[in-house]
A and B are shown apart, each in its own frame.
Chain A
């Protein structure tokens, strides 16, 4: 039996979106979204600007009506429930703190509206949690951007909603405070055990915080999974490029033998784990992350069984302390990036002739015929 309290909070409340679609006129902002966010998990919606993240959150909170589809909290269909009757709270992209109320009253707002009598203890605890007890008597405009963001978080969190929606809550913070708040948020989430749906276009943020990431592109979910799954086994070029960097080499599958797929690309023979190759013949794109590629002078010995591309020329070398990043131009005209850990190996200067190689087990395959650049430049704009 599920026990409902005042707000219709149910137990075992996974958040489920079924066929959720939002159209503005003829423009489809969110397109047939299907996903389940397990209760108590930290779920990140990752995607470039304008891909429909905020729209999705607004439909969950009830501020926007879906054109098609349903939203479930646990077993209950909340699609038609007014926002103020949903056990869901939002940390808004622009904070939306109430300018006429002081910080204390801002945080107490939700509790007071629900008729909670004694708000002092929870409010003080919440202010301590975000380490802003000393500004309780100030008005929002007397706070820095980062402090306002933390108050927006406290104002939502104090209501212990079944699902907390966070719309780029760390967007305005500088890098250091951002990292600090990421750790803090994750700690709070584990502590209170609420479901967090966190929207961001910062892939690093999504990877460090989330249990599950959904990568959105143009209103659709491209791929969903744990950070490691997405990083190691992207299914589309968009995900491969948006989540970290990838070297993508188009080729053709020659054949699959004994768990290994053989691929010919630019006249060179490369191999790939058959399990990670989505096609058994025809066009394919072979991907490999830059940090998994090694670089050596052209006469050096390459370990047997490794994929090897010869005849490369170093175009650019940037030494950044912990690693060195190379841009290598292959005879086919393609450019490959290579990150090498600074373990004391000699640095290759621009112009040097080199061979690049990697363990075939580290590569991944994508269906051929996709746009190799998809998602590559988007991230630059957004970040």
Chain B
């Protein structure tokens, strides 16, 4: 017969605490990422590195360029092209603001009043992009030509006197002026503002508007307190998608501007293609633009993230 002897507590084997389950590893996302990563390395990373390296080289097309860590290229890049930086910044900023002011009501209307026409209306916004960017910009030459109905109307209304006084148009002409450049840019980039705005507005439950009305908001305060904050992701996305390509754009300035509307892109093209020694400084300007835009965009996103913008 055996008596049951209780094991003394001290001798009891100490059980290890139950192990926390480690999250399972999954390789699929990485494999799916691979083609994209490769693409980025070849067509994004390599060109950037080439640009950065070119920006500190010296030489000309005939003797070839050598890496001499010639940082003075950056001094040239930053100091010699003031007007171009100013124009690029001003035009793209103005374009972004105008796109937002024009695009928000359009996106709002389609999202909340479009009903069953929503998809059709959005298609209408995008359809012009099916034509080439270049052709559309050239078409604006006709729209803004001196004898076009629009320009004649603006002249008759004495609007051109005002804009010329402000330096946005030249005499009785709209074509070949800063105003024409901004018009072309706004036209070309508007869909990039509208699309993200529409997407975020469309997601807002219209019943939230009703709750707003129920809680003493008129139509404007409902927009200000409910719709606008909820559409901020669209505002940020739309303005970024517009500003980033706009700041680098030079087609509009080239086709619709005049010699006094030069933007950075035109200068870079000039240095690359029409100046035998321009390659390094052109690269330096590119790098400056990239870093500058990046810093601007990052600080904008940060501000937006903390809801300082609304």
Contacts and interface: CB of A to CB of B under 8 A. Distances in A.
Interface of A: 7, 61-63, 82-84, 88-90, 92, 94, 96-100, 109-110, 113-114, 155-156, 159
Given A63-B210, A94-B207, A98-B226, A82 B218 contact: yes
A156 B216 CA distance: 11
A83 B213 CA distance: 6
A63 B208 CA distance: 12
A113 B217 contact: yes
Given A92-B207, A92-B211, A94-B207, A100 B230 contact: yes
18 contacts: A7-B216, A61-B214, A82-B213, A84-B215, A84-B217, A90-B214, A92-B207, A96-B205, A96-B208, A96-B210, A98-B226, A100-B230, A113-B215, A113-B217, A113-B225, A114-B216, A156-B214, A159-B215
Given A82-B218, A84-B218, A113-B221, A98 B213 contact: no
Contacts of B210: 63, 83, 92, 96
Nearest to A101: B229
B236 to A, nearest CB: 14
Contacts of B211: 90, 92, 96-98
Contacts of A159: 215-216
**Size bracket, chain B contacts:** 10 to 19
B221 A89 contact: no
B273 to A, nearest CB: 49
Interface of B: 205, 207-208, 210-211, 213-218, 221, 225-226, 229-230
A307 B225 CA distance: 67
Contacts of A89: 214-215
Contacts of A94: 207
A125 to B, nearest CB: 18
A139 B221 CA distance: 21
* Minimum-distance CB pairs A-B, first 7: A96-B211, A113-B216, A110-B215, A83-B213, A100-B229, A84-B216, A96-B207
A113 B229 CA distance: 16
Nearest to B210: A63
Given A63-B210, A90-B211, 17 more contacts: A7-B216, A62-B213, A83-B213, A83-B214, A84-B213, A89-B214, A89-B215, A92-B214, A96-B207, A96-B208, A98-B211, A98-B226, A99-B208, A99-B230, A113-B215, A113-B225, A114-B216
A114 B225 CA distance: 13
Contact of B215 (A62, A82, A99, A155): A155
A63 B214 contact: yes
A61 B218 CA distance: 14
A208 B210 CA distance: 30
A334 to B, nearest CB: 47
Nearest to B232: A100
Contacts of B208: 96, 98-99
A62 B229 CA distance: 25
A156 B214 CA distance: 9
Contacts of B214: 61, 63, 83-84, 88-90, 92, 156
Contacts of A156: 214-215
A84 B225 CA distance: 14
Contacts of A110: 215-216
Contacts of B218: 82, 84
Nearest to B215: A110
A156 B210 CA distance: 13
A109 B207 contact: no
A159 B221 CA distance: 18
A113 B213 CA distance: 11
Nearest to B208: A96
Nearest to A83: B213
Given A63-B210, A92-B207, A96-B210, A109 B230 contact: no
Nearest to A90: B214
Nearest to B206: A96
A148 to B, nearest CB: 13
A100 B213 CA distance: 17
A255 to B, nearest CB: 57
Nearest to A94: B207
A276 to B, nearest CB: 43
Nearest to A155: B215
Nearest to B207: A96
